[in-house]
Amino acid sequence: MNALFDLRGKSAIVTGAGRGIGRSIAIGIAQAGADVTLCSRTETELASLAAEIERFGRRALVVPCDVTKAEEVQHVIDMTKNEFGRIDILINNAGITKKTPAEDYELEDWNRIIAVNLTGVFLFAQYAGREMIKQGGGRIINISSVASQTAVTGSVAYCASKGGVNMITKVLAVEWAKYGVQVNGIAPSYFETPLVKQIKDTREGFAEQIAARTPLGRMGHPDELVGAAVFLASDASSYISGETIFVDGGWVAVGL
């Protein structure tokens, strides 16, 4: 392995690790050498993922967690430190959405999406960041979305939350640079995940519409985000902070 991308000796936390993007990234950074703490609300999904990671010869720690609850976030931090000794990488991936016209959006749905997608990102970044500051460095990677920069109809809460993620990324990168903590983001477009499958199952022609809108002519596969994650977690990105990389098949670049 190229030493620039080598994560051996590193420990990572991945939220929303049970499926989709989080699962692929957890496997990818383990293959690059990192030991991984796996978090989500569904423990059964994490157990099978941990077994897969351990087959690579890496350690995997399963800690169920609701990212909106500060005490559970702190528990993940404590368990990771106890198991691996330090926290080098945080992948802030947990997220939800609901498609509803803005005029009909229920406050309960708005609050839940903001709590998971935005407050949860901040809590994990803050709690992990405190440890990284103490140890003299670390990498935080926040999973954003093309919806942070382009409007997605029926997704006002999701778009607002992901726009906020981009700004959390910038602010923390600036504040924590002096401590050796680098904070960056990855913004996918539509990827073949369980979250997107929910939309596909309820909107006829949705997949075809996305393919037609995307210059590369298809949705992405979660494994296609691994390269960006390993890059940002590794020494290959040693002079990058405060950036959000759009992995989107050309989605944001589209004009008239």
Active site residues: 158
Provide CB contacts within 8 A for 142, sequence distance 6+: 92, 121, 125, 165, 168, 169, 183, 184, 185, 186, 244
Is 235 in contact with 4 (CB distance < 8 Å)? yes
d(CA 118, CA 121): 5
The angle at the Cα of 32, spanning 30 to 37, to the nearest 5 degrees, equals: 25
Amino acid letter, 34? A
Give Cβ neighbours of residue 245 (< 8 Å, ≥ 6 apart): 184, 185, 186, 187, 228, 232
Collapse the DSSP code of 172 into the 3-class scheme (helix H, G, I; strand E, B; otherwise coil) and give the result: helix
Q: Strands 60-62 and 89-92: what pairing?
A: unpaired
> CA 92, CA 204: separation in Å to the nearest integer?
31
Q: What are the helix (H) ranges across 14-119?
A: 20-31, 43-54, 70-84, 107-114
Residue 160: CB atoms within 10 Å: 17
